[in-house]
Amino acid sequence: MLSRLSVRNVVLISRLDLEFHEGLTVMTGETGAGKSILLDALGLALGSRADFNLIGAGGDRAEVGAMFHVNPDHPVMAILDEAGIESDGEIILRRQLRDGKSPALINDTPVSATLLRQVGDELVEIQGQFEGRGLLDVQTHRDLLDRFAGAEALAEDVAEAYHHWHDCHKKLQAALDVLAQARADEDWLRDAVQQLDDLSPEADEENRLVEERQILANVSKIADVLNQVEQSISAEGGAIEIIATAGKTVDRALETAGNILNPLNEALARVEAELDEATHAIASAHDQLEGDPNRLLEVDDRLHALRSQARKHNCNVEDLPQIHEDLASKLAGLDDQSGGIADLTKSEHDAAKAYQDQAKSLSAVRQKSAAALDQKVMAELPPLKLDQATFVTKVEILDESKWGAHGMDQVRFEANTNPGMKTGPIDRIASGGELARFLLALKVVLADTSAPMSLIFDEVDSGVGGAVAAAVGDRLARLGEDTQSLVITHSPQVAARGRYHFKIAKNQTDDGTVSNAVPLQSDERLEEISRMLSGATITPEARAAALRLLEAQ
């Protein structure tokens, strides 16, 4: 629900703050008083195209803010949540015009004009103005018909079936693309796999070979080190002989030294054992150094082969085992592709059939419900002085290339206003007043199924009076019982049906002409409706007629 509108320096409106409530609110005033300016200002806050001509003479910028209060389950909350905008049910839309820019904010968070419009479209429908918004947006007609038909669940099933079909189609196409590429590269692929089969690269092989090569390249140096160490340990006068002599010396004194020399004796024994192990390690190292004299050449050749393959596949040597596995798998898939392609083709075919079956069911429901909707709208037209008009909900099957999550139908509301004319888009066929009354009739019929939002009607009573204006007022009042509705009107019959009433007027001030809106109480409403009935000079008869209109509600 729209709860507040704040306007600053928009054309003739210098400063204006309006509070709104549930039910039907009417706005009246003489022609040129500024009623359309209010709609322009609200449209700006709702994301309409920025028009810098709206900036008034009172400064170099204009600003509009609109405050709404919605329930937690309102569809707009999902849009705000996705955009990362927090809201406890209060939503404030702001728009400025300054320096050739039009910054927008939602709950003090800067947003794009696109997001502002998306949110605005969920909160307000303006009928009779703002081309391409509200019921004039053909993109909304399909969803409106589905809600009227109670087919939302079926429409969701169709969307789910379409996405499944689309996914199956993508998988099949991807597999076919891989197969086509593989076929084109088959000779190269078989040769590459054969070379890697022959090479059989192993994990971490390069590091092991580099380490081994370093050893093999330094055999003589390592052998010299081993010989020197062996001489120090095993030769005459070496460590083994020294430790053995020390051990014998300690042994001779053990009987007379009690336990004092036991730790020393044990330590010497351990040293002797370690020296013996060192001797075996030297022998083992000598054995390794005395291996295949051609091993260094073999290691060099292996490293060259591995690195050559890595360059060929533009990878590191350590990646070759995985490259080998991937290419082998691709080759195996190439040799056994028919089964997989057949399975994917069947899945895609089954998914397409499931989508088409459900889309056809939805189309049949739409066709049937379109006739019911047309019948109800047509019943609303005669009281609105549209008894010669025709309303048609066209449901047309689209070309397969245009099928989508919405189904296979295009839904469009069309009308004609004269017998014998072909129907066409209602905004092109009907005049401003006729269009607003068409939309009012349609909105009355769809009221129980429409998403919760505020409704604004402009020019809905244009060119009508008497019983027709009363019928318009009656339908607006019916809408106001369940949906916050605002109407800008020149009709006293419509104005009398409002629960709330604003009068918009121009006044002369020291700063020039300004436009303002004032809420009217009961006596003030009587005077305003009397003025609407009789003109500048209010007669007793006009007051009496106005009183009858107000008392009849």
Cα–Cα dist 439/430, whole Å: 11
Cα–Cα dist 167/71, whole Å: 36
Q: What contacts 208, CB < 8 A, 6 or more positions away? A: none
pLDDT at residue 58, rounded to an integer:
80
Which range of residues forms the domain containing residue 249? Answer: 185-335
Cα–Cα dist 33/47, whole Å: 24
Is 220 inside a domain boundary?
yes
Is 200 inside a domain boundary?
yes
CA distances for 240 relative to 228, 434, 476, angstroms: 14, 119, 116
Cα–Cα dist 530/540, whole Å: 9
The tally of domains found in the chain comes to 1
pLDDT at residue 114, rounded to an integer:
93
Coil/strand/helix, residue 409: strand
Is 243 in contact with 275 (CB distance < 8 Å)?
yes
Range with top average pLDDT, 114-118, 449-453, 539-543: 114-118
Q: What is the mean pLDDT of the chain?
A: 86
pLDDT at residue 220, rounded to an integer:
61
Q: Is the pLDDT higher at 192 or at 295?
A: 192
Of the listed ranges 12-21, 239-248, 411-420, 474-483, the one predicted with least confidence: 239-248
Is 65 inside a domain boundary?
no
pLDDT at residue 178, rounded to an integer:
78
Cα–Cα dist 368/393, whole Å: 10
pLDDT at residue 293, rounded to an integer:
60
Tell me, yes or no, if the pTM score tops 0.75.
no
* pLDDT reading at 392 higher than 90: yes
* pLDDT reading at 160 higher than 60: yes
pLDDT at residue 231, rounded to an integer:
74
* pLDDT reading at 129 higher than 80: no
Identify the H or E element spanning 127: strand 124-127
pLDDT at residue 524, rounded to an integer:
92
Average pLDDT estimate for 241-263: 79
Average pLDDT estimate for 87-111: 94
| Parallel, antiparallel or unpaired: strands 13-19 and 2-10 | antiparallel
Of the listed ranges 122-131, 476-485, 539-548, the one predicted with least confidence: 122-131
* pLDDT reading at 279 higher than 90: no
* Helix 219-234 vs helix 205-216: crossing angle, to nearest 10: 60
* pLDDT reading at 291 higher than 60: no
Is 77 in contact with 99 (CB distance < 8 Å)?
no
pLDDT at residue 516, rounded to an integer:
84
Is 366 in contact with 151 (CB distance < 8 Å)?
yes
Q: Which two tokens stand for residue 406?
A: 């919405």
**pLDDT band for position 513 (cuts 50, 70, 90):** low
Is 351 inside a domain boundary?
no
pLDDT at residue 544, rounded to an integer:
92
pLDDT at residue 179, rounded to an integer:
78
Average pLDDT estimate for 385-391: 89
Is 320 inside a domain boundary?
yes
pLDDT at residue 261, rounded to an integer:
77
Identify the H or E element spanning 375: helix 337-380
Is 95 in contact with 69 (CB distance < 8 Å)?
no
Q: Which residues pair with 205 in a beta bridge?
A: none
* pLDDT reading at 95 higher than 90: yes
Burial environment of residue 351 by CB neighbours within 10 A (0 to 12, 13 to 18, 19 or more): buried
Q: How many CB atoms lie within 10 A of CB 82?
A: 9
pLDDT at residue 404, rounded to an integer:
95
**pLDDT band for position 395 (cuts 50, 70, 90):** very high
* pLDDT reading at 146 higher than 90: yes
Counted residue by residue, the chain has a size of 553
- The rounded percent of the chain whose pLDDT value lies above 90 is 44
| Parallel, antiparallel or unpaired: strands 485-488 and 454-458 | parallel
* pLDDT reading at 487 higher than 70: yes
Cα–Cα dist 326/328, whole Å: 5
Cα–Cα dist 406/452, whole Å: 22
Is 80 inside a domain boundary?
no
Q: Which residues pair with 18 in a beta bridge?
A: 5
**pLDDT band for position 286 (cuts 50, 70, 90):** low
Is 146 inside a domain boundary?
no
Cα–Cα dist 440/446, whole Å: 10
Q: What contacts 250, CB < 8 A, 6 or more positions away? A: 261, 264, 265, 268
Q: Which residues pair with 2 in a beta bridge?
A: 68
Q: Is the pLDDT higher at 90 or at 128?
A: 90
Is 306 inside a domain boundary?
yes
